[in-house]
Amino acid sequence: MQKNTTSADELIALILQGIDDVKGHDINLLDLRDIDNTVCDYFIVCNGTSNTHVNAIVGSIQKTVSKAIHDKPWHVEGSDNSEWVLLDYINVVVHVFQKQIRDFYDIEGLWGDAKITAIESSYNQ
- CATH number for the domain that contains residue 75: 3.30.460.10
Residue 111 lies in a domain: yes
pTM here is: 0.92
Nearest to 71 by CA among 43, 91, 51, 56: 91
* Average pLDDT, integer, range 97-124: 93
| Single-letter amino acid, residue 57 | I
Task: Report the distance separating Cα 7 and Cα 16, nearest Å.
Answer: 14
**Domain hosting residue 60, numbered range:** 8-119
Tell me whether residue 2 is in a domain.
no
Number of domains, the chain: 1
For residue 68, being part of any structural domain is answered with yes
Q: Which residues contact 92 (CB under 8 A, 6 or more apart)?
A: 8, 11, 12, 15, 40, 41, 42, 43, 44
Beta strands in the chain (DSSP E): 25-31, 42-48, 75-77, 84-88, 92-98, 115-119
- Does residue 3 lie within any of the structural domains? no
pLDDT at 74: 96
Q: What pLDDT does 102 receive?
A: 98
pLDDT digits (tens, 9 = 90+) for 29-85: 999 999 999 999 999 999 999 999 999 999 999 999 999 999 999 999 999 999 999
